[in-house]
Structure 1
Amino acid sequence: MIKTAMSRPVTVFMFVVAVILFGFVSLDRLALNLLPDISYPSLTIQTDYPDAAPEEVESLITRPIEESVGVVPGLTRLSSVSRSGQSEVVLEFAWKTKMDLVVLDVREKLDVVNLPRDVQRPVILRFDPTYDPIMRLQLYGDLSLGRLRYTAEKELKKNVESTEGVAAIKVIGGLEEQIRIEIDEKRLAELQIPITQITQILAQENLNQASGSLYDLDANYLVRMLNQFRSVEEIQQIIIRNQGGRKVTLGDVAKVWRGSKDREVIARLNGKESVEMAIYKEGDANTVTVAQAVLQRLDSLKKANQFPKGVDYQVVFNQAEFIKNAVDDVLSSAIVGGLLAVMVLYVFLRDLRSTLTIGLSIPISIMATFALMYQTGITLNIMSLGGIALGVGMLVDNSIVVLEAVDRHKNAGISLFEAVYRGTKEVGMAVTASTLTTVAVFLPMIFVEGIAGQLFKDQALTITYSLLASLLAALTFLPMVLAVQIRKPAVNPEDAAAIAVAAPEAPSPAPGRFHRAVLWLSRTGRTAGRFLFLDLATVVASDLRRLFRLLGGLLLWPLNPFLDRWERFYNRLNQGYPRLLVWSLDNKGNVIVLVVFLTVTAVALSFRLGAELIPSLTQGEFLFELRLPEGKPLEVTDRLISVIEKKVAAYPDVQTVFSSAGGSNRNQFARESHEENVGRLFVVMKNKRDKETEAAVIKRIRDQLEEYPELSFTFSRPTLFSLKTPVEVEIYTYDLDSLHSTAGLVAARLRRIAGLTDVRTSTELGNPEVHVLFDRERLARLGLEESQIANILRNKIRGDVASRYREED
């Protein structure tokens, strides 16, 4: 292989060019991500049960679902959370489980579960609903909050949600339109009309229904009843009683108007109310690709004049920006590392041609690595690029060994071609063994299962690819470059004289006219080819060599004083090394004791080092989850958060502040689990890379939040990795009271540990309740039913959705 590469330089050169081209093309097509694709084999079954207490949710929904899906093959862990109005059952499966087949199996199991009538259909989520969205948009403008919410849900959400990779979009804030009917209970009682009757009449009157077919002669007509409400006035004119010619309409006993639903979440941007769109990606989608596609879709809507007029948006959070910045930092570090490696080579070799020759193995190996990454489905992330950066220093090791061996044989006086061949062949087996031993350290990591395997697989493969590419370059490309003679070899005078006095050949017959033309074209072609590909190429190569030597001399001229000092220092070090070696051989015992002492010291210090899978990532964006005592209304929560938001917005180092009051901190898709006493405060820094300023702002916000005794809070950053809480303690018991008390004791102990902050438990007190107990004997005497009274009580307190009012589409 070595001699073939040396004798066919054009072939090797074209192969290297092809590798570089494939590398550039692959680099342009590689997906960009922060971390490797870590796909957890898990499903979340979410079931809503409006206005149900956690105990009822657990007994009526969670337990039946757990019993049904607990027999799915491959299930390794089953956990659930039962909260007010919602059940979440999380199924975790073994690694490499085919989740598409599991989803079908889980759906079949859910279809046979008997749930209460008011329970909504269970939803299977392939993504974790507790993850943060990849992007948050805040909508604002001259429109009212109701119109702004309508625009977000009916126009923008439909356009953006169809983008490839978008799993769901959650719209919060603003006002949701609703046709409200406020009953005059006194008037209703006088007429002896139950409130449930009005609900039934509204549902019956607002109806479009197919009524079959009507045949008339040769025609067939479809019969449809079109009786849906078309206006608020029509709803007011509904007759709810017609007795003795006396008609009672809905407008006589109730006030009907176009209003808005009771607010569940209030969103603010820099102190002003807004509407937020939180965009979630699919589990296997690329964050950067999805975010770019969403922004392109929004830009295309604006350019096509399809963006709602009077509405503007601001991207307040975008994970793609942090990912691109992090990957760019790692990539720039790898480039700087390669340049430093080349500089160190020159410091020791003091020969520009040798340095550049060896330095070429770095970009060639990296381009080959990019091509192999694309073929094996590896993305550009901090782990894969970290592997490349780790291997940059090792890419030149093989080339240095080959160059040193070639130089030794060349100094022995043999020809250049023979020196390159002998030197490369002499160390070829050694550098191959050295490279394969390093590969043998990293390559087995691809067989590790679990999070560690998915996280470090990319790094192991990129290091392996780059090392094997550098080995191939050292054994083929480097010998070819070293064996090329740029100068035209001098002709021996004796050989030239011998050629001149050589006996002429016997004269050949005079060629014909056509033959002479062919000979002339052949000589002309050979002469032109020799001139273009040999003489001209040699001259150009020589000129380029002189130019590079001149430029290198000019660039390195300021470094000559430093290089001279370094050479003197290295000479003294080289002269002192034999004496140190002799002393070590004469004092073997002291050397062994010193090595053992240093080893023990290093091992002892290693136990004091912290250990974590992924370090804390400073993004310049963070949030505080705020919680007031249970039972606090949404207005009180919003008023407190708006005060805190104004204070934080006044900080000079803060760029944007936005907040939300209400909703669910654990699950943004909890439609029926609304906590009015909770809120979130999001902060975006001006300088996202200044860690010290960010830490100071966080401490200042903590100090201000401590001023409110009723307020509890936790600090967190946007979730870029699944381990949102680095330390979790799980407590198991069958008694809720003992579970609550034990969790409180454990949390109190954990708060005493240095380094742990924002310790909280998942067991929380529910909202204050008013219990209603029925006297069954008295109900029986009065001829009443419990369900009838429960429905009336629910309608009077909570209200009821009698029907849907459709407008436009």
Structure 2
Amino acid sequence: MNYTRTALKNPAAVIVIVALVMVFGLLSIFKLPLQLTPDIEQPQISIFTGWRSAAPAELESVIIEPIENVVKNTQGVTKVTTSIGQGFGDITLTFDVGADMQKAMLDVINNLNQAPPLPLDAFEPVVSAGGGRGGPNTASLMIKTLPDNPVEDLGQYQKLIEDVVQPRFARIPGMGQVNLASHRPRELRVTFDPVRAASLGLSIGDISSTISRSNDVSGGTANVGRRQYTVRFSGQYSLENLAEMIIGYSGDRPIYLKDIAKVENTLVDRFGFNLRSGQPSYYFTLKRQSDANTVALMDEINIAIKELNEGPLKAAGLTIDLSFDSSVHIRNALKLVKGNLGLGVLLALVILWLFLRGWRNTLIIATTIPISLLVAFVALTVFDRTLNVISLAGLAFSVGLVLDAAIIVQENIVRLKSQGFENHKAVLKGTLEVTGALFASTATSVAIFLPILFMKGVEGQLFSDLALTLSIAVISSLLAAITVLPIASKYWLKNVNDADPYEHYWQHLTKFVMRLTNSRVKRITWVSLLLGGSIAVTLMLLPKTDFMPRAPIDGFFYSLNMPPGGNVDFIEHEMAILVKERLAPYLSGEKSPKIKSYNFYSYGAGSTGGFIYSDDPTRVEELMQVVREEVLSGLPDTQVFLFRGSMINVSGGGNGRTIDIDINGTDIEALMQVAQIGIDEINSQMANTTAFPMPSLSLAEPELNLIPNDQRITQAGLTRRDVANAVRAYTSGLFIGEYFDGNDRVNVILRGQQWDTPDELASLPIYSPIAGSQTLGELTEITRTAGPTQLRRVDGRRTISIQVSPPADMSLEEAIALLNEKIIPVMTENLPESAAIMLSGNANKMASAISDMVKNFILALVILFLLMTALFKSAKDSLLVLLVMPLAVAGGVIGLSILNLFTYQSLDLLTMIGFIILLGLVVNNAILLVDQTRQAELSGLSRCNAVAQAIRIRARPVYMSTLTSLFGMLPLMLMPGVGSEIYRGLATVIVGGMTISAIFTLILFPSLLRFSQKSSNKPLASIVNITPEEQTLRVSNH
């Protein structure tokens, strides 16, 4: 179909189509969800479960290991990772990339149904998509008291938060999860006197069974005359009358529950706390649904916060602080990219005007920019994508590219008009002459993105938006160039006849290039130097590889491994207060750098830390050093670890720049020793590297181990279960059932009175009808030991992991090499039998991603070669065009090397994509030169003269399109700001590659094309200075 001819015949239809595109494009801009990056679907499923007050080892053997056994064989599972703490366990299943996660979720739930029954007081497993219990937080909130509220224990506000605050956020459209980290559920606690109970002849079993049997029972129905009655046995006591329950007799006198126990409806014991800038707080995390607009959701969250702060919370003396707002980074990053996009458009138009020196020509070519970009917005909407940093960067990259086709068409039209062609004929002929070459270059540019669109894994999800926006923009620019631009030229340039003000420069350039390549020796020398030099430069300067760009946020995490045995009260009243006092001058601004706010949390010695927000985002690294050396240094027996997070979440909460060293085996103490050796080696040989152990490397949880004396237990007429229930009752409490009051269901807990020393525990009695009262110390041997505060399991084996965070100026490739060469061998020497060490996490992901990238690079080359062979009908010409690749790659590498002189930039995956994009861009100039040469040869010119003519005719559009592309991308490379690290490397590769390619292509290709040239039939000067009429006559005669 002849699009140009059809468009010129129906200009009104074309204008209407363009208007519709503009309308739908503008609507799409406002409709598209705003995100920081494309949605990254983690092929992970998490299973969260728990058991009230259970030690990690107990939870592991009773609940975690049986669940792992039934879910590990789920189809597609590649890794099972489990974290176990005091009373909870979190299992993460990792699946093959590209797995059907909906089917996987159903399979996991079905397999869970085959797991053995859980203990009565264990939590039912909660299954959720994504690692880290549903993925990264959209927002986190801290509810704290107002300055005039003296209350310190926030437990009294629990019901207000559960009934009012939590439901208000849950009702927001797009909200996925509302998690209250400080949640303390209520329980019906029966606190009894063990000595009193034993003296009255009551065993723990007597008390617990009597209470648990006091329930309502349905008696069915009964027909009495003409009526049917529902029969109920009201056996459940009311809360007010529960203490009046008869639990036994002493002779003829009844023993009431109130005689030996106190009954209260209360909150469970406090197991942790949160501070917001030093104030006690409730901690909320909010997670969005996968298809929710983060920015719109945050707007609704802020509305809800305002309503609650001005309403029920204010009345209660509380207020909500927004601790983390993910939309801030999104808004700032998108603002920066939009600014770069606008600046890129402006610079590209300035370059156009400098070449054309005519505002009409400039505006006609510039019309392709809004058309192409708006079509890309429509495509993003149609394909259900989001407006994010990656897709916007793709549009910014396309600013110069979408001008290419328009420049070629317009330049050819103006050239024909200057040769005397009538306006309509010049427009039609000028467009049709270059349409074939434009289709070829566009096809190659788009085809190069096909491998990216079909990439799997994190890299595919990240880069598909980039490939989509660039492809759609380039295709639409071609259609605009051969339809809209001819119409505009026909009517706007009707009486305009612009001559090229730089014609003499192109003639001098042609003569210069032809002299450089006028002998076979020179041609061989140039080809050898350019291709060989490109390969050498690439090998010498190629940076080390990384997984993901470093896009740091304006704060950092800190984690504290506390002294062994430190409970929550000790951490709050001693350690937290000390940290609060040290941070106070930085929070008030008395000392610098100033802190905007900070969080401190603790859920026991194994889980203590927080987050610190810098008031000045440019001084985060300085603030980290101050906190490490002044604020958190010198804490008694405490290890300090600091991490700076990333805006790109690719690891279920990680930043893409960490390496896990997994040490697995059966002897947990031996594994800890090996891990400590590894951390010491890392600290000594890898400066500024954080090595964080998971879990901590000490058996920091003091334990009282009660070993049963089976002979005495049997002689007393008891069983191990009886003694175990007594131990549970004398410590955290024995679960004996549930109580429903018509509104809420709470656990019923039987607990002995508080004891203070192990000797007091040993003296507590257990009543037996056979032996009477026996002390716990008589029935067991109590020993003091230490156990882990947390456990970690990988693929069913106990594992100690060291999470290594290399410094900002060290790539993952360098860090992995250093670990393999210097750290792992030392650790292996101390490894016990049956234990193993391996690198995992981002180390494996990077290796897999780079392998895929190399394969896709080769596939892109193959696609390019086949397409150009079909278009040129010559495999030889296709190979000639592909020889521009070494120049482009070398240019990209040189660009990265220059950038590294000013700021660190590794070869991360997004930067690697730049080399693939280069393939589709730099071939365009080569295609134009080869195509023009072949056309001139077909018109009867010799090879030498055909090459000279191709240089002279195509030099102007080549440099015009190259410079507009370069200046359109320069802001992305040079402008610093939030999120610029994400695309800066990619922009640098493209700018460097296109620059070097544009400079040396005009030497390389004449050298290649003239290898087999015959003597010229016409002096070279006459070809270079050929009149426009003669040139047109040659082509038209052919």
TM-score (norm 2): 0.64
How far apart, in 1, do the equivalents of 2:60 and 2:313 lie? Answer: 46
Q: Which residue of 1 aligns with 2:178?
A: 169
Q: Which residue of 2 aligns with 1:722?
A: 650
Q: CA deviation at 1:278?
A: 1.3
Q: Contact 1:46 / 1:88 at 8 angstroms: preserved in 2?
A: yes
How far apart, in 2, do the equivalents of 1:646 and 1:805 lie? Answer: 45
Q: Contact 2:53 / 2:732 at 8 angstroms: preserved in 1?
A: no
How far apart, in 2, do the equivalents of 1:656 and 1:175 lie? Answer: 29
State the AA in 2 paired with 1:134.
Answer: T
- Call closer, same or farther: CA 1:23–1:315 in 2, change over 3 Å: same
- 1:159-308 aligned at under 5 Å gives the runs 159-173=168-182, 178-205=187-214, 207-226=215-234, 228=236, 230-231=238-239, 233-257=240-264, 259-283=266-290, 285-298=292-305
Which secondary structure does the structure 2 equivalent of 1:769 belong to? strand
How far apart, in 2, do the equivalents of 1:120 and 1:337 lie? Answer: 56
Q: Which residue of 2 aligns with 1:152?
A: 161
Q: Which residue of 2 aligns with 1:696?
A: 622
Which secondary structure does the structure 1 equivalent of 2:449 belong to? helix
Q: Contact 1:774 / 1:786 at 8 angstroms: preserved in 2?
A: yes
State the AA in 2 paired with 1:710.
Answer: D
Which digits, 9 at most, give the CA deviation of each residue in 1:303-323, with x for residues without a partner? 897997543212111112212
Aligned counterpart for 1:650 among listed residues 585, 590, 599? 585
Q: CA deviation at 1:336?
A: 1.4
Which secondary structure does the structure 2 equivalent of 1:313 belong to? strand
Which secondary structure does the structure 2 equivalent of 1:394 belong to? helix
How far apart, in 2, do the equivalents of 1:242 and 1:440 lie? Answer: 89
Using the TM superposition, name which of 114-123 and 638-647 deviates more: 114-123
1:634 partnered with 2:568? yes
Q: Contact 1:743 / 1:763 at 8 angstroms: preserved in 2?
A: no
State the AA in 2 paired with 1:128.
Answer: G
Which digits, 9 at most, give the CA deviation of each residue in 1:695-742, with x for residues without a partner? 111111111222225222322345641331621223344544443333
- 1:583-622 aligned at under 5 Å gives the runs 583=516, 585=518, 587-588=522-523, 591=526, 594-595=529-530, 598-600=533-535, 602-607=537-542, 609-622=543-556
- Call closer, same or farther: CA 1:74–1:598 in 2, change over 3 Å: same
1:38 partnered with 2:40? yes
How far apart, in 1, do the equivalents of 2:278 and 2:307 lie? Answer: 30
How far apart, in 1, do the equivalents of 2:525 and 2:99 lie? Answer: 57
Which digits, 9 at most, give the CA deviation of each residue in 1:170-229, with x for residues without a partner? 223486655544333333333232244333333344x34433224333222323345655
- 1:60-79 aligned at under 5 Å gives the runs 60-79=62-81
Q: Contact 1:365 / 1:470 at 8 angstroms: preserved in 2?
A: yes
Q: Which residue of 2 aligns with 1:114?
A: 116
- Call closer, same or farther: CA 1:283–1:730 in 2, change over 3 Å: farther
Which secondary structure does the structure 1 equivalent of 2:442 belong to? helix
- Call closer, same or farther: CA 1:642–1:594 in 2, change over 3 Å: farther
- Call closer, same or farther: CA 1:316–1:574 in 2, change over 3 Å: farther
Which digits, 9 at most, give the CA deviation of each residue in 1:446-489, with x for residues without a partner? 122222222211111111000001001110000000001588x9
- 1:130-145 aligned at under 5 Å gives the runs 131-141=135-145, 142=149, 145=154
Q: Which residue of 1 aligns with 2:103?
A: 101
Which secondary structure does the structure 2 equivalent of 1:770 belong to? strand
- Call closer, same or farther: CA 1:747–1:585 in 2, change over 3 Å: farther
- Call closer, same or farther: CA 1:161–1:370 in 2, change over 3 Å: same
Aligned counterpart for 1:582 among listed residues 509, 515, 528? 515
State the AA in 2 paired with 1:702.
Answer: R
Q: CA deviation at 1:580?
A: 6.7
TM-score (norm 1): 0.81
Which secondary structure does the structure 2 equivalent of 1:267 belong to? strand
Q: Contact 1:182 / 1:255 at 8 angstroms: preserved in 2?
A: yes
1:80 partnered with 2:9? no
Which secondary structure does the structure 1 equivalent of 2:241 belong to? helix
Aligned counterpart for 2:403 among listed residues 377, 396, 401? 396
Aligned counterpart for 1:623 among listed residues 557, 578, 588? 557
In the alignment of these two chains, the number of paired residues is 714
Q: CA deviation at 1:790?
A: 1.1
State the AA in 1 paired with 2:144.
Answer: Y
Which secondary structure does the structure 2 equivalent of 1:91 belong to? strand
Q: Which residue of 2 aligns with 1:781?
A: 715
State the AA in 1 paired with 2:442.
Answer: T
Q: Which residue of 2 aligns with 1:15?
A: 17
Q: Contact 2:140 / 2:284 at 8 angstroms: preserved in 1?
A: yes
How far apart, in 2, do the equivalents of 1:129 and 1:614 lie? Answer: 19
How far apart, in 1, do the equivalents of 2:507 and 2:626 lie? Answer: 56
- Call closer, same or farther: CA 1:576–1:111 in 2, change over 3 Å: closer
Q: Contact 1:137 / 1:316 at 8 angstroms: preserved in 2?
A: yes
How far apart, in 2, do the equivalents of 1:135 and 1:255 lie? Answer: 42
How far apart, in 1, do the equivalents of 2:205 and 2:297 lie? Answer: 48
Which secondary structure does the structure 2 equivalent of 1:715 belong to? strand
Q: CA deviation at 1:115?
A: 4.2
Using the TM superposition, name which of 638-647 and 426-435 deviates more: 638-647
Q: Which residue of 2 aligns with 1:425?
A: 432
How far apart, in 2, do the equivalents of 1:78 and 1:751 lie? Answer: 29
State the AA in 2 paired with 1:747.
Answer: I
1:678 partnered with 2:686? no
> Which of the pair has more CA radius of gyration?
1
How far apart, in 2, do the equivalents of 1:449 and 1:677 lie? Answer: 37
Identity of aligned residues (%): 25
How far apart, in 2, do the equivalents of 1:722 and 1:579 lie? Answer: 52
- Call closer, same or farther: CA 1:227–1:324 in 2, change over 3 Å: farther
Q: CA deviation at 1:756?
A: 5.8
Q: CA deviation at 1:801?
A: 4.2
Q: Contact 2:46 / 2:91 at 8 angstroms: preserved in 1?
A: yes
Q: Contact 1:214 / 1:222 at 8 angstroms: preserved in 2?
A: yes
1:797 partnered with 2:737? no
Using the TM superposition, name which of 309-318 and 240-249 deviates more: 240-249
How far apart, in 2, do the equivalents of 1:741 and 1:593 lie? Answer: 57
Q: Contact 1:402 / 1:424 at 8 angstroms: preserved in 2?
A: yes
- Call closer, same or farther: CA 1:697–1:775 in 2, change over 3 Å: same
Q: CA deviation at 1:230?
A: 4.6
Which secondary structure does the structure 2 equivalent of 1:339 belong to? helix
Aligned counterpart for 2:31 among listed residues 15, 26, 29? 29
Which secondary structure does the structure 2 equivalent of 1:650 belong to? helix
Which secondary structure does the structure 1 equivalent of 2:386 belong to? coil
Using the TM superposition, name which of 407-416 and 16-25 deviates more: 407-416
Using the TM superposition, name which of 189-198 and 473-482 deviates more: 189-198
- 1:473-622 aligned at under 5 Å gives the runs 473-484=480-491, 578-579=511-512, 582-583=515-516, 585=518, 587-588=522-523, 591=526, 594-595=529-530, 598-600=533-535, 602-607=537-542, 609-622=543-556
Q: Contact 1:750 / 1:756 at 8 angstroms: preserved in 2?
A: no
Q: Which residue of 2 aligns with 1:463?
A: 470
Q: Which residue of 1 aligns with 2:872?
A: none
Q: CA deviation at 1:612?
A: 2.3
Q: Which residue of 2 aligns with 1:670?
A: none
Q: Contact 1:180 / 1:257 at 8 angstroms: preserved in 2?
A: yes
How far apart, in 1, do the equivalents of 2:473 and 2:605 lie? Answer: 55
State the AA in 2 paired with 1:390.
Answer: F
Q: Which residue of 2 aligns with 1:411?
A: 418
- Call closer, same or farther: CA 1:301–1:631 in 2, change over 3 Å: closer
- Call closer, same or farther: CA 1:414–1:583 in 2, change over 3 Å: closer
- 1:320-339 aligned at under 5 Å gives the runs 320-339=327-346
How far apart, in 2, do the equivalents of 1:272 and 1:278 lie? Answer: 18
Which secondary structure does the structure 2 equivalent of 1:378 belong to? coil
- Call closer, same or farther: CA 1:101–1:580 in 2, change over 3 Å: closer
How far apart, in 1, do the equivalents of 2:594 and 2:209 lie? Answer: 54
Q: Contact 1:145 / 1:175 at 8 angstroms: preserved in 2?
A: no
How far apart, in 2, do the equivalents of 1:755 and 1:13 lie? Answer: 63
How far apart, in 2, do the equivalents of 1:85 and 1:274 lie? Answer: 22
How far apart, in 2, do the equivalents of 1:710 and 1:798 lie? Answer: 27
State the AA in 2 paired with 1:160.
Answer: F
How far apart, in 2, do the equivalents of 1:376 and 1:176 lie? Answer: 44
How far apart, in 1, do the equivalents of 2:719 and 2:23 lie? Answer: 81
